[in-house]
Amino acid sequence: MAVRIEEARELSDVDLRRELDNTLRELMNLRFRNASRQLANNAQIRAAKRSIARLRTVMREREIQGISV
């Protein structure tokens, strides 16, 4: 479930954390499926990692804005 940066910025803090947890869980499952040779599309792992990075970026942006304001 790829999250676009615009979509992530529209989420509330609680929803953002929930989406991050879900994506981390999804990444773990994708890695297990890849290790057991059940994953047909390896690009899903890359997409999940990028979604995690986007979510963490938005969380960090909010953290910095809270400190500097």
For 7-63, write each residue's pLDDT tens digit. Answer: 999 999 999 999 999 999 999 999 999 999 999 999 999 999 999 999 999 999 999
CATH number of 5-68: 1.10.287.310
Distance from the Cα of residue 48 to its chain's centroid: 6
Q: Which tokens is 17 given?
A: 């954390």
Reported as a single tens digit per residue, the pLDDT across 52-63 is 999 999 999 999
Does the pTM exceed 0.85?
yes
Length of the chain counted residue by residue: 69
Q: Give dist(CA 2, CA 4) in Å, integer.
A: 7
